[in-house]
Amino acid sequence: MRKELYQKLKDCLGSLESVKYVALWNHNVEYIEQEQPWERPAVFIEILPLEWRCVVPGHEYHSVVTLRLHIVYDWSENEMNDFDLESEIAQAVIGLEGDGFSPLEPVGSATNHNHEQIVEDIDTYRCECAMII
């Protein structure tokens, strides 16, 4: 289920002309000097820990998935354009669903107010998922 969710999100975000790079979150901004360079704007997908509840013992489990999209871009003099990028991303991913997960819904946004040249804003989404064994 996590693989399907990640791949659908990666494909969706990768299809946007304004997004230049999509990958799994790995504290990328913290270690930006040590990593291979990646084009910006970039979106990193972070899947938070899941807690499964049993629906059918040994067969079916459900969970709520919370994920964060780390939207990383170069700060510009016209910061209103930066909000356009986040709006475009939200329009693309809200309602995205798959066989193993319900439509994504937005649940939070954090705007970076302490940046230099690189900005990292974080949008949080949630969906229900099922794992059938």
Q: What's the whole-number mean pLDDT along residues 114-118?
A: 76
- Helices 2-14 and 80-93: angle between axes, nearest 10 degrees: 130
Average pLDDT, the chain: 89
Q: Report the candidate in 69, 74, 130, 120 with the shortest Cα–Cα distance to residue 99.
A: 130
Q: How many domains does the chain have?
A: 1
Q: What residue numbers bound the domain in which 70 lies? A: 2-132
**What angle is formed at CA 31 by the lines to CA 80 and CA 122, rounded to 5 degrees?**
35
CA–CA distance, 64 with 76 (Å, rounded to integer): 36
Q: What is the pLDDT of residues 26-83, one digit of tens each?
A: 876 665 666 667 899 999 999 999 999 999 999 999 999 999 999 998 887 666 666 8
Residue 98: predicted pLDDT: 95
CATH at 114:
3.30.2000.10
Q: Taking the model in full, what pTM does it have? A: 0.90
